[in-house]
Amino acid sequence: MIQLLLLAAVLLGGYLLLTQTLFKRSKCKGNAAMAGKTVIITGGNTGIGKATAMHLARRGARVILACRNRSKAATAIADIEQATGSTDILYMQLDLCSLKSVGSFVDRFLKTERRLDLLINNAGLVADGRTEEGFGIEFGVNHLGHFLLTCSLLERLKEAGGGRVVTLSSMAYRWGHIDFEALQTHKHLGTGSYSWQFFQAYCSSKLCNVLFTHHLAKKLQGTGVTCYCVHPGVVRTELSRNVSLWQKIFIEPIAHLLFLDPETGAQTTLHCALQKGIEPLSGRYFSCCAVQEVSAHARDDEAAQKLWELSEKFCGLAA
């Protein structure tokens, strides 16, 4: 009996510790006005992106869901309209696996929309494979597609005045590493048939997100546009839909017990989108609705510059 009580105490203590650290919850308190403003959310048809879209639509924003699947987007739009009463939500086709698709999205957006106030680079995946142009899919989707999208829309963001770019990263950046020579030669951050191998590449792609935001902030100085990267927490989303069956069997029970729901996972994104007065923190990393320090390798100016220049080359933006 005593042993059972001790075991229960240990399990309860472990649960409480995890819910106050790795699975800690937070609440956005930002209240910036969004009526009349236009927002793009990549991957806005599901998970954190959909929860973010729901909140911003409720605040009166014009929300553009930039995603691949038209039918899923239509379902998401119907859900958001029903929940918020907004009729100002649009779908625009965007496949981050294709730089050509990114270019087509940008062309359409610039021709049909007069302003852009907020760009949320939300979409991401854990998977193995290649993009249309032959890049590792995690590098291509999680970083390169968003890099091209952001760079192509910066002028429109500047025109609106006070625009923001929010890029979803992850605490997984801590385990990331960028081999620039291998990246230039092979166009990927790592590959392999085992899920732990493409999880390592995922970590490296999240490091790319942090370095991208770090360098973007320097590029944006004096423009009125600011940028932030976000760890949303450990959230139940479709991010891991490509992992193996046995891993899903192992992960699902833990996910339902501990992982954050998408609404909770959207709070730090919303904080960086809506909180007034954080402009001096442009380029920084946020978690639990607060700025956090990052590891030295994630604020390496030389690495951030290299990544930017290589990304420009890959996207055809280099002079």
Catalytic residues: 202
Quote the strand ranges of 69-185, DSSP E: 89-93, 118-121, 164-168
DSSP 124-179: -----SB-TTS-BHHIIIIIIHHHHHHHHHHHHHHHHSS-EEEEE--GGGGG----
Report how far residue 113's alpha carbon sits from residue 64's, in angstroms, rounded to the nearest whole number.
10
- Cα 206 → chain centroid: 9
Radius of gyration of the chain (CA): 19
Residue 243 corresponds to which tokens in the numbers above? Answer: 């992992």
Report how far residue 162's alpha carbon sits from residue 112's, in angstroms, rounded to the nearest whole number.
21
Q: Is 107 exposed, middle or buried (0-12, 13-18, 19+ CB in 10 A)?
A: exposed
Report how far residue 294's alpha carbon sits from residue 79's, in angstroms, rounded to the nearest whole number.
37
Place of tokens 């399990």: 11
Strand order in the sheet with 226-231: 89-93, 62-67, 38-42, 118-121, 164-168, 226-231, 285-287, 290-292
State how beta strands 62-67 and 38-42 pair: parallel
